[in-house]
Amino acid sequence: MCQHCSTQTHSSAEGDRQGVALTPFQYKQHIKKLKSTIAPKSLPNIPTSATGSECLQILLDQIFPADYSQLTQSTFSTPAGLNSTAQKPYSGSQNLPPQDLGMIISAILSLRYNIPHRSSHILNSALNLLIKSSISSSGGPPTPEFHIPQTLTTIFEHLQLEPVIQNYICCPQCFFLNSLTESVTTDKPHCQCYNDPNDHDPPFTQSLGKFIYSFEPQTQITTNMKQRFILTKHFIYQPFKNWLARFLQRAGIMEILHQHQKSQTPKGSPKCDIWDGLVWERFTGTRNIHDPPFMSIPGSLAFSIYVDWFNAHGKSTWLASIGTIMLICLDLPTSERLKPENVYVAGIIPGPKEPTALQLNYLLMPLIKELKELWQG
């Protein structure tokens, strides 16, 4: 919200709200006008005698302080090689190794400013030359050899920004999930599918993929040759427990959760949040009826599940529906719930067709298994 809009208010069904009500077209025009009036960020003053490491430190300190703070708060664990205290806001007094400074800058430009992988590759090569030349020209004692990875994948792995994921073989016909490691032990992995679980027709066999062999021309295939299994369709799942552990370890998140749980809507005011319903104040689930309400127990969290599909080809005439399974933490304030760093993406539903309600149950099984374990404690 810009400085002008933040001083205005407008009426809505929920009462007076901050800001100005705009149509989608008016919003686009407003953003376009703001971008034309905002002056570009000036470059910091870097001393001519600064080394390559000092240049990178100045860039982080003066250009990307907020971005670096948000990056460290959204990391899934303490980045390898970083000596700073985990989950603390960035401070210019931190003395990070040059290679870590370069990787952090590259990660910020990719995650926050969407620079292409090719541009990141060129940037990392330039940073390597900059730091190595400054070290060689300084005439100081030799330093341990270092190298900034040129690919973003390697950088994300080093900073531990990649989530933990599990791959499943997904049946192209019924969407039943099979373990990837267990299903490729047979020569012809297949699934026994039913058109309807209530009918009496025999199941039909659906292939789950095929093996390809690496061999030289004019060479017979033997059991000793390398083989690779190619999936017909696969399902990617992010374990909920891993995501929840990283989510609760973020700086300040527990204070936000506790503050929102203690807040109460005044009686007689419009009901504008899910917690305004009386059912959640009395909800005990499958526990004893004399137990306290579930949400009054310290450490209890509530999530809403959301499933939707989109066309993988955008607005093209080609149709390929790919879906997402997401969970939203309802214990967060409404202004924080839909931020990307607070949304849990459970899995990506493979296309090109949407599963039926029954088939969707198969895709939810890994998530439901973890939720049941957490519910039972």
pLDDT of 81 reads 37
pLDDT of 195 reads 56
Q: State the DSSP H helix or E strand holding residue 128, giving kind and residue range, or none if neither.
A: helix 117-138
Q: Which residue has the higher pLDDT, 54 or 370?
A: 370
Q: State the DSSP H helix or E strand holding residue 206, giving kind and residue range, or none if neither.
A: strand 204-207
For the cut 50, the answer to whether the pLDDT of residue 76 exceeds it is: no
Q: Tell me which of 11-20, 327-336, 364-373 is least confident.
A: 11-20
Q: Which residues pair with 279 in a beta bridge?
A: none
For range 263-283, the mean pLDDT: 76
User: For a pLDDT cut of 70, what percent of the chain falls above it?
Assistant: 65
DSSP designation for 77: S
* Whole-angstrom distance, CA of residue 33 vs CA of residue 26: 11
- DSSP 3-state of 11: strand
Tokens matching residue 287:
């526990």
User: For a pLDDT cut of 90, what percent of the chain falls above it?
Assistant: 12
Q: Which residue has the higher pLDDT, 231 or 144?
A: 231
Mean pLDDT of the chain: 74
Q: Which residue has the higher pLDDT, 9 or 96?
A: 9
* Whole-angstrom distance, CA of residue 192 vs CA of residue 175: 11
For the cut 80, the answer to whether the pLDDT of residue 243 exceeds it is: yes
For residue 309, count CB atoms less than 10 angstroms from its CB and return exposed for 0-12, middle for 13-18, buried for 19 or more: middle
Tokens matching residue 366:
């890994």
* Whole-angstrom distance, CA of residue 343 vs CA of residue 23: 26
Give the model's confidence band at 307: pLDDT under 50 very low, under 70 low, under 90 confident, else very high. very high
52-62 helix and 98-111 helix, angle to the nearest 10 degrees: 40
For range 329-357, the mean pLDDT: 90
Give the model's confidence band at 1: pLDDT under 50 very low, under 70 low, under 90 confident, else very high. low
Q: How far is CA 47 from the centre of its chain?
A: 38
pLDDT of 259 reads 82
Q: Which residue has the higher pLDDT, 23 or 359?
A: 359
pLDDT of 303 reads 94
Q: What is the pTM of this model?
A: 0.65
At 343-354, the pLDDT tens digits run 999 999 988 888
For the cut 50, the answer to whether the pLDDT of residue 136 exceeds it is: yes
Give the model's confidence band at 289: pLDDT under 50 very low, under 70 low, under 90 confident, else very high. low
For range 115-138, the mean pLDDT: 78
Q: Tell me which of 1-5, 25-29, 231-235, 261-265 is least confident.
A: 1-5
For range 336-363, the mean pLDDT: 90
247 HSE (CA, 13 A, CB side): 22
For the cut 50, the answer to whether the pLDDT of residue 85 exceeds it is: no
pLDDT of 146 reads 63
pLDDT of 6 reads 67
Give the model's confidence band at 73: pLDDT under 50 very low, under 70 low, under 90 confident, else very high. low
Centre a 10 Å sphere on the Cβ of residue 251 and count the other Cβ atoms it contains: 14
Q: Tell me which of 67-71, 153-157, 276-280, 292-296 is least confident.
A: 67-71
Residues 6+ apart with CB under 8 A from 276: 265
For the cut 80, the answer to whether the pLDDT of residue 340 exceeds it is: yes
Q: Tell me which of 211-225, 237-251, 334-348, 361-375 is least confident.
A: 211-225
Contact between residue 20 and residue 3 where contact means Cβ atoms under 8 Å apart: no
